[in-house]
Amino acid sequence: MYLIFILLIFIAGCDNYKQYELEVIMPQLPDHIKNSYKDIKFELKYPGSASGIEIADPGSSVFIYSSFPVFPVVATPYTNKGNIPFYPAGGIFPESGKDGSLLLKWEDGFAAEIIYRMVSNGYNVDSFNTGRFKNYLIEKSSGNPWVFDEENIIYALSFNIFNANFVKKKNSHRMVLQLPFEVSEKKGWMLSNLLDPRIFKEENGILVLDEMPERNVFILSDTGKEFAQLFMDNVGWHAYFSNSEDILSGRW
């Protein structure tokens, strides 16, 4: 939805210290998730938030004070049952601001996560064009920046050598899972990357996941009960299912 910024200016001693109060309003959940998972809450992180954790419902708001010239907000949704994390939504002040408001978007979560890591680690990104940065990632990925390798981007930003050559897609693969008996015969499985709305149907206990980038992800049954965590790298994968002691593994 919207993130409304109310700018307050305070004077501290002889120094000008600009502080603003943010009313952060969470985005709504995509239909394919909220129909199956109704217990989702957001956990917020942002520079200076290490002392506590902000929890919010979809569509609700929290208030934040900050003085960072570039201020990323990352909102990660979790299910209460199983505490499963989804890929986050996000926003970056002030580049995403419009008429005193900021919209946290799912497609901005990748860029917000990167800028959060940079600012939290002490790098100065005040002169970096974060608006152009996030828009480029969205356009080049056709709306799903999680296909990119963020470590390449962070490395380039850290040494102030960033350009388009450092925006590279992760390798992707086809996974074939022989589902454990305990979790077979489900209607479909969804991804914890909410920018990828695909629902994968199993047939005879076999689940085929096409075009899966080499990054960890959860898959969740559309019954709202079972899930599995997939760990992937350039060698192969492991799958841990919530209702089974079996660990599935495979090589590319």
Provide the pLDDT for residue 52. 62
- Judgement on whether residues 161 and 182 belong to the same structural domain of the protein: no
pLDDT band at 57 (very low <50, low <70, confident <90, very high): very high
- Judgement on whether residues 152 and 244 belong to the same structural domain of the protein: no
Domains contained in the chain, number: 2
- Judgement on whether residues 242 and 146 belong to the same structural domain of the protein: no
Domain that holds residue 120: 3-166
Provide the pLDDT for residue 251. 92
Rounded to two decimals, what is the model's pTM?
A: 0.88
Provide the pLDDT for residue 3. 36
* Mean of pLDDT values over 49-58: 78
Distance between CA atoms of 7 and 20, rounded to whole angstroms? 4
Question: Phi, psi at residue 157, to the nearest 5°?
Answer: -65, -35
DSSP bridge pairs for 78: 41, 85
- Judgement on whether residues 73 and 144 belong to the same structural domain of the protein: yes
- Judgement on whether residues 101 and 17 belong to the same structural domain of the protein: yes
- Judgement on whether residues 89 and 184 belong to the same structural domain of the protein: no
Residue 248, pLDDT > 80, answer: yes
Last residue of a domain, one of 166, 196, 228: 166
Provide the pLDDT for residue 176. 95
Residue, of 37 and 112, whose pLDDT is higher: 112
Last residue of a domain, one of 166, 184, 214: 166
> SS3 string of 166-216?
HCCECCEEEEEEECCHHHCCCCCEEECCCCCCCEECCECCEEEEEEEECCC
Which of these, 112, 118, 113, lies nearest to 156 by C-alpha position?
118
Mean pLDDT (the chain) is 86
DSSP bridge pairs for 4: 23, 101
Q: Are strands 15-25 and 40-45 parallel, antiparallel or unpaired?
A: unpaired
Coil, helix or strand at residue 137: helix
- Judgement on whether residues 160 and 192 belong to the same structural domain of the protein: no
Distance between CA atoms of 63 and 3, rounded to whole angstroms? 10
Provide the pLDDT for residue 172. 97
pLDDT band at 205 (very low <50, low <70, confident <90, very high): confident
- Judgement on whether residues 25 and 83 belong to the same structural domain of the protein: yes
Provide the pLDDT for residue 8. 30
Highest mean pLDDT among 7-11, 93-97, 155-159: 155-159
- Judgement on whether residues 143 and 209 belong to the same structural domain of the protein: no
Tokens at residue 91, please? 């926003």
